[in-house]
Amino acid sequence: MTTASEVIKPPPTSVGFIGWLKKNLFSTWYNALLTLLSLWLIYIALGGLLKWAFLSAKWGVVTSNLRLFMVGMYPPDQVWRVGLCVFMVSALSGLSWGIWGGVLRSFAIALAAAFGTLAVLPFGLETQGWLVGNLALILLGYFLGRKLSGAGRWVLAGWLLSFVLTILLLKGFEASPVLPPVSTNLWGGLLLTFLLSIVGIVASFPLGVLLALGRRSTFPVVRIFSILFIELVRGVPLVTILFMSHIMLPLFLPKGVTPDSVLRAMVAMTLFSAAYMAENVRGGLQAIPEGQVEAAKALGLNAPLTMLLIVLPQALRLVIPATVGQFIALFKDTSLASIVNLIELLRIGNFVLAQPQWLGLFKEVYVFIFIVYFIFSYAMSYASYKLEAALGVGKR
């Protein structure tokens, strides 16, 4: 006869949050002493800041100008177009979460948590309803994605199409009563910061890969052009390229032809980021052992297929940390667009501080801008970490 064995649970102090505290912060008496000393120093350093943030700060300067921070001078009666673009991103995020999971799951959960947290704050019924609607779209997209697991290619096409639809929605059409044209001079705030960074990231990555391959090319013309472009762009600061695109470029164009200012900034940032991206990718290409290429040749693969199927995927996997670091730097460098009269997030803050009722509230405005930049930069860093863990970067 067999008797049922009793399952003994681990001690409460060895698992969960208490177990983590005991293992990492209070494992020995000197670790406990260091933990308490560190908490005291943090309190001394941040106590004044926390008291100011919760007791003295006048956050009305942010809540009263929230629409200005988000979309800049975009016409108030057309802000629904921006909201529709965010709805599209929320739905695609939920679908991606349900179909692929992984890093996209972390992104969708973080986005849903952000919408849920903001929906609790006193932003008004209209804004709260919009936030709850985005949260519902993410959850609905997740459940649909679980049912439509074979629709990955359509969701990918939706992501590609969403960028074009976003530009069309924001810009509008001539003589259209539903989508009247909105000049890019009115685009601003976090909206413009996102557009500049997303276009720069999406466009600079393939261009940087091509430049890295061109620098290793056996064709002298391609190799010399790639080297000159990379070294010239990396030899000057981004501000110089922005000034050239806004001041010098019109001098070389026919009279009356003036490219859009936002488009010029996007091109300048894309070219600048592509040069640094090319060097990151080149470092990854050089890290691949020559034996990989020889093995591909032994299998009968030609040079383009060897590079596309064998070398490049491994090289891109190795340079994920450097690549995401470049993306984060580009996101923060969008603040330099204010130098060429674009109304991005930082310049919106200066506009708010110029209003008579908000004079002198520099701390509140710049702390809010700091928090926005930190949240999105940390989100990209966290996504990079999760992607590295999923692909086993640094492990054999």
**DSSP designation for 5:** P
pLDDT at 4: 60
CA distance 289 to 129: 55
CA distance 358 to 220: 59
Query: Long-range contacts of range 126-131, CB-CB < 8 Å, 24 or more positions apart?
Result: 130/83
Strand partners, 187: 72
CA distance 71 to 7: 58
Q: Residues of 283-321 as b/e, b for ≥16 C-beta within 10 angstroms?
A: ebbeebeeeebeebeeeebeeeebbeebbbeebbebbbb
Q: Are 103 and 110 within 8 A, CB to CB? A: no
Nearest to 84 by CA among 236, 92, 332, 245: 92
CA distance 228 to 280: 16
> Quick one: tokens of 283?
């470092």
At the topology level, CATH places domain 186-345+374-389 in: MetI-like fold (1.10.3720)
Q: Are 152 and 98 within 8 A, CB to CB? A: no
Nearest to 269 by CA among 210, 167, 201: 201
pLDDT along the chain (396 residues), means of 10: 63 68 82 90 83 86 88 90 92 90 80 82 78 91 86 89 90 86 89 92 93 91 94 92 84 77 90 94 91 89 89 90 92 90 90 89 91 89 83 66
DSSP code string of 287-318 = TS-HHHHHHHHHTT--HHHIIIIIIHHHHHHH
pLDDT at 49: 83
**DSSP designation for 260:** -
Give me the residue spans of the domains in the chain.
75-181, 186-345+374-389
Strand partners, 188: 343
pLDDT at 124: 72
pLDDT at 9: 67
Q: Are 190 and 372 within 8 A, CB to CB? A: yes
CA distance 169 to 71: 14
pLDDT at 5: 64
pLDDT at 215: 93
Q: Are 321 and 355 within 8 A, CB to CB? A: no
CA distance 200 to 274: 9
